[in-house]
Each structure stands twice: as structure tokens, then as C-alpha cells.
């Protein structure tokens, strides 16, 4: 083993590293708990736990610099530390099997958390009775979409994540005959018709609106502070300019508050532009056949919410009905559909759609750790009783 490899092994298998990482994780939890006041649970998870480094802007600039290790780094190093310690210090023997099994369970738990953090998807699927959808929508993320409507059977969609718009980063894409240049971005804003603003409202308090196309010129933008309430959703507004080979096509005001996409023509083709909740299309469609909202007799206290749905694979390989209700989600193609919200008066149901490839790992980890600890304590008890028997015999 050469010098560098040796120093790696010594570093990663040391107990000092374990203590340092545990100390870092305590600091991380403490700082993240305080930050939750401003960022909310989702924001804190993203910034502190689902990251390798916690980033902060360098003072006076917009340049992000790492300020402390994030959850993935600490968790990853803890796992490497545990593995390295086992390989170098622990010996594989029956009397230590309990410790090995417990530690292995811990590793499975850490890996499971990493898989969940990296791969879990969480969307909502809102369906009216009789409606069929083959996509779900993000609870938080938004996207600017440019839809080519020229094909009689299909729509060609180019989806630009909100982060590009927030960074005001121009986008050139092979499927677009023009460039998209974000000109202004408000992460949370109200928009309203200028002709319908309440009297006495100070128009100078509105954000500058230099849109030239679509409904934009008739709207006022009123920026709002970002909401970190987990029950509320921020609705962004952006001004987006499209630039073709012969110059600007105009500037559009886009926002998820504008429910319909805005149509325009370019080079003989029909296009639409919209800022909408981020969609994830699936290769199956869900149809809401019937929803029911039962209450306890003689009261308005909810007894049961349920949605009868029909799942149809787009390739025709699956066509079945399923009843989704509390604690009885539908599992299909790795997705789990939970009953989330319902408005029976208005005839719609909202399902939460979760995909988590690592969902079984915490159960396996707990089982391994239970077996490990049981083995360990049983062995101790056995040795203790043997010693006591020996002592009483003498």
C-alpha cells in the first residue's frame, strides 16, 4: 500500500472522522431548524439535506460558495467511514455478527435515504369525474413551455425549467426556430387586468410591464414576497422575449395564473407559449370514473374519500379499474397514487403521485438492525448467564 492510499485508509476509517461527521450533522440539523423559519420545510430539505454542500452567496456577489457540508456529503462520508472501519478494524467472526448486521442495516438505511432523496418524485394528479390525463403536475416547480401546434395529431413541446427563467439565461434549442430570452422574472406575483384594478391603487407600485404580445400589455404585475408556507404555492410571472433570425418577435408576459397558453404564429407555424406547473408525462393514462365523499350519518364529518379510476397503458398492455381511498393507494409501474384532496361538490379529485424506488429499503434496514441487536444482546445475555453459573458453581 503506497503512502497516499494509506493516508486515505487511515483518514476514512478513523473514529475521529466519525465524531467530526456526527458533530457536523448536529450543527447541520441545528442550523437547518433555524433556517426553517425563513425557508419552510421544503426549502430546508433542498438546501441543507438534499445537497452535497450548503451554498451561500459570496458577500456582495451572486457567486455561490460552499459554506458547510450538506446532508449527502455527511451521510456519504459516514457510510464510507463505516465501511472502511469494517474492512480495516473489525474482524469477521460469529460473536461480532450482531454488530456487523446492525451496521449493515445502518448502511442500507443511509443508501435508502440517498436513493429516496435523489430519485423520489412527488406530483399531483387532478382529475374531474370522467376526465383522463396522462400527466401529473409538480407541487412546486414550474416551467415555461413553447408548444408547436402545427402537427394535426401531436403537439411538440419544449419545456424550459423555471431556474433558466430565474437566472435570465437565454435558451436556444434545436426544436425551436427562435431564441428565448427571459427579460424579467418575479418569483411570486399577482397579475390582474389593468382596466379592472381597484380605484386608488398606485400604478407606480406595479412592476414594469414591457410586454408587447398576447394578453400581456393589458395586465398589471404586482410582485409579492415569497411565501414559505408549505400550504401555499408561489406563482411566478416572467417577461419573455422571442428572437428569430430576422429580429425580435415580441415580448410575452407569462404566468401560471394565466390559465390558457397564448397563441402566436411564426414562419407559417402555430405556436403557444405558457408558464405552467411542471408536467411529467407517463406512458399510461388515468381516468376518474367516479369519486365519492361519504359522511357519517346526520353530520358533515367526513367518513371516507374514494376515487374509482381506470388505468390504461398507452401501448394497450394494461386496462384495469382500481379504487383509491385512505391507506389504499394504487401502485402501478413504480408509482403510488394516494387520495390527496377531494372536492365532491365540484366533482374533482386530486391524487398524490409518488415514485420512490428506495421505499422498501428503510423496512429492510430496520429488520437488519433489529436482528443484529437481538443477536448482540442475546449473545451478551448468554455469556452473562454462563459467567453467573460458573460463579455460583465455585
Per CB under 8 A, 128 contacts other proteins: yes
The stretch among 101-109, 231-239, 244-252, 351-359 that binds other proteins (CB under 8 A) is: 231-239
Nearer to other proteins, 171 or 240 (CB): 171
Q: What minimum distance in Å lies between the beta carbon of 243 and other proteins? A: 16
Residue with Cβ nearer other proteins (102 or 278): 278
Alpha-carbon torsion (62, 67, 71, 75), positive or negative:
positive
Considering only 21, 73, 189, 291, the residue that binds other proteins (CB under 8 A) is: 73
72/48 Cα distance (integer angstroms) = 9
Question: What's the closest the beta carbon of residue 298 comes to other proteins, in angstroms?
Answer: 12
- Which residues have a Cβ under 8 Å from the Cβ of 100 and sit 6 or more positions away? 86, 90, 92, 372
Which of 52, 228, 284, 338 forms a contact with other proteins (CB under 8 A)? 52
Minimal distance, residue 141 CB to other proteins, in Å: 9
Q: Which of residues 276-335 bind other proteins (CB under 8 A)?
A: 277, 281, 300-301
Sign for the pseudo-dihedral over CA of 189, 194, 199, 205: positive
Query: Residue 154 or 389: which CB sits closer to other proteins?
Result: 154
Closest approach, Cβ 87 to other proteins, in A, equals 19
Which residue number, 106 or 197, has a Cβ lying nearer to other proteins? 197
**Residue number, 122 or 272, with CB nearest to other proteins:** 272
With CB under 8 A as the contact rule, the residue among 83, 97, 323, 350 that binds other proteins is: 350
As measured in angstroms, the least distance from the Cβ of 158 to other proteins is 5
Distance (Å, whole) CA 237 – CA 222: 9
Question: Three cell numbers at 274?
Answer: 405558457
Of the pair 204, 346, the CB lying nearest other proteins is at: 346
Q: How many whole angstroms separate alpha carbon 163 and alpha carbon 180?
A: 14
Q: In angstroms, what is the minimal distance from the CB of 23 to other proteins?
A: 15
Stretch touching other proteins by CB under 8 A, among 6-14, 84-92, 360-368, 371-379? 6-14
Please say which residue, 233 or 383, places its beta carbon nearer to other proteins.
233
Q: Comparing C-alpha atoms, which of 22, 23, 9 is closest to residue 85? A: 9
Secondary structure of residue 200 in the 3-state scheme? coil
Q: What's the closest the beta carbon of residue 11 comes to other proteins, in angstroms?
A: 6
For residues 142-201, which are near other proteins according to CB under 8 A?
149, 151-161, 163-164, 171, 173-175, 190-193, 195-199
Per DSSP, the residues of 232-278 read -----EEEEEEEETTEEEEEEEE-TTS-SPEEEEETTEEEEEEEEEE
What is the SS3 assignment for 13? coil
* Residue among 90 and 348 whose Cβ is closer to other proteins: 348
By beta-carbon proximity to other proteins, the closer residue of 16 and 91 is 16
Query: Which among 58, 234, 225, 261 has a CA at the least distance from the CA of 162?
Result: 234
Total site size for other proteins, rule CB under 8 A: 74
| From 25-33, 243-251, 346-354, 366-374, span contacting other proteins (CB under 8 A) | 346-354
Considering only residues 242 through 271, tell me which ones interact with other proteins, judged by CB under 8 A: 256-263
- Give the x-and-dash track for 106-125 against other proteins (CB under 8 A): ------------------x-
| Contact criterion met (CB below 8 Å) for 379 and 98 | yes
Q: How far apart are CA 135 and CA 125, in angstroms?
A: 7
Binding characters for other proteins, 22-41, by CB under 8 A (x = yes): --------------------
H-only helix segments in 45-148 = 71-88, 97-119
Question: Toward other proteins, which CB reaches closer, 92 or 259?
Answer: 259
Q: 16: which 3 cell numbers?
A: 475521529
Judged on CB neighbours under 10 Å (0-12, 13-18, 19+), 298 is: exposed
* 354 strand-pairing partners: 122, 336
The Cβ-side half-sphere exposure at 224, using a 13 Å CA radius, reads: 14
Residue from 276, 242, 274, 254 nearest 186 by CA: 254
Amino acid at each position: 500500500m503506497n503512502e497516499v492510499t494509506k493516508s486515505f485508509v487511515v483518514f476514512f476509517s478513523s473514529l475521529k472522522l466519525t465524531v467530526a461527521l456526527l458533530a457536523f450533522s448536529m450543527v447541520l440539523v441545528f442550523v437547518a431548524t433555524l433556517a426553517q423559519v425563513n425557508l419552510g420545510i421544503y426549502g430546508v430539505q433542498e438546501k441543507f439535506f438534499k445537497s452535497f454542500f450548503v451554498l451561500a452567496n459570496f458577500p456582495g456577489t451572486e457567486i455561490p460558495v460552499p459554506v458547510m457540508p450538506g446532508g449527502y456529503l455527511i451521510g456519504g462520508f459516514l457510510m464510507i467511514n463505516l465501511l472502511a472501519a469494517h474492512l480495516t478494524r473489525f474482524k469477521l467472526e460469529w460473536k461480532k455478527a450482531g454488530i456487523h448486521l446492525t451496521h449493515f442495516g445502518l448502511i442500507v438505511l443511509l443508501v435508502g435515504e440517498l436513493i429516496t432523496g435523489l430519485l423520489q418524485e412527488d406530483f399531483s394528479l387532478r382529475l374531474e369525474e370522467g376526465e383522463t390525463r396522462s400527466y401529473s403536475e409538480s407541487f412546486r416547480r414550474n416551467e415555461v413551455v413553447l408548444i408547436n401546434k402545427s402537427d394535426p395529431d401531436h403537439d411538440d413541446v419544449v419545456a424550459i425549467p423555471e431556474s433558466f427563467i430565474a437566472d435570465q439565461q437565454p435558451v436556444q434549442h434545436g426544436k425551436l426556430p427562435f431564441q428565448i430570452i427571459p427579460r424579467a422574472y418575479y418569483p411570486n406575483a399577482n397579475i390582474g387586468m389593468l382596466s379592472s384594478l381597484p380605484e386608488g391603487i398606485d400604478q407606480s407600485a406595479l412592476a414594469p410591464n414591457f410586454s408587447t404580445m398576447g394578453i400581456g400589455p393589458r395586465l398589471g404585475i404586482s410582485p409579492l414576497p415569497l411565501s414559505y408556507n408549505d400550504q401555499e404555492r408561489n406563482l411566478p410571472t416572467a417577461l419573455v422575449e422571442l428572437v428569430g433570425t430576422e429580429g425580435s418577435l415580441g415580448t410575452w408576459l407569462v404566468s401560471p395564473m394565466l390559465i390558457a397558453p397564448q397563441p402566436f404564429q411564426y414562419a407559417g407555424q402555430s405556436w403557444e407559449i405558457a408558464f405552467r406547473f411542471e408536467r411529467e408525462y407517463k406512458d399510461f393514462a388515468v381516468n376518474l370514473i367516479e369519486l365519492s365523499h361519504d359522511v357519517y350519518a346526520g353530520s358533515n364529518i367526513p367518513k371516507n374519500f374514494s376515487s374509482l379510476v381506470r388505468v390504461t397503458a398507452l401501448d394497450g398492455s394494461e386496462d384495469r379499474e382500481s379504487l383509491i381511498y385512505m391507506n389504499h393507494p394504487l401502485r402501478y409501474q413504480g408509482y403510488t397514487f394516494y387520495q390527496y384532496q377531494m372536492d365532491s361538490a365540484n366533482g374533482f379529485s386530486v391524487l398524490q403521485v409518488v415514485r420512490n424506488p428506495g421505499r422498501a429499503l428503510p423496512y429492510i434496514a430496520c429488520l437488519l438492525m433489529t436482528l443484529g441487536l437481538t443477536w448482540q444482546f442475546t449473545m451478551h445475555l448468554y455469556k452473562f448467564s454462563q459467567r453467573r453459573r460458573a460463579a455460583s458453581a465455585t
